[in-house]
Amino acid sequence: MNEELMAIQKNNTWQLTDLPKGHKAIDVKWVYKIKVKTNGEIDRYKARLVAKGFEQREGYDYEEIFSPVAQMETMRLIIALATQRQWIIHQMDVKYVFLN
């Protein structure tokens, strides 16, 4: 939990402000997960602080949403192009990508 909070603070993810009249703050909750190795041994414990976005109302709390998720068709196209043009493909996992 401390690692998650430090990352949120380091990236200036949130900014404390006064709420407009008639609005309430969106609640958050901690989501915990135990990462297990292939042999069943515990690898590490993960904690994520998530906003309860389902409490928002369209047109009142937000106007539009955007979720940058790659579609499978897009990935297939990129791999096909890379194969055809002999490009090198690199894959990486980015920790805290949602904060950026």
Going from N- to C-terminal start, the domains of the chain cover 2-99
Answer for the pair 82, 75: CB distance below 8 angstroms, yes or no: no
Mean pLDDT of the chain: 82
Which tens digits make up the pLDDT trace of 48-63? 888 776 666 666 666 6
Q: Which segments in the chain show pLDDT lower than 50?
A: 100
| Counts of helices then strands in the chain (DSSP H, E) | 2, 2
The pLDDT, as a whole number, for residue 50 is 83
The pLDDT, as a whole number, for residue 76 is 93
pTM above 0.75, yes or no: no
The pLDDT, as a whole number, for residue 23 is 77
Q: What angle do CA 48, 51, 10 make, to 5 degrees?
A: 55
Answer for the pair 34, 42: CB distance below 8 angstroms, yes or no: yes
The pLDDT, as a whole number, for residue 30 is 92
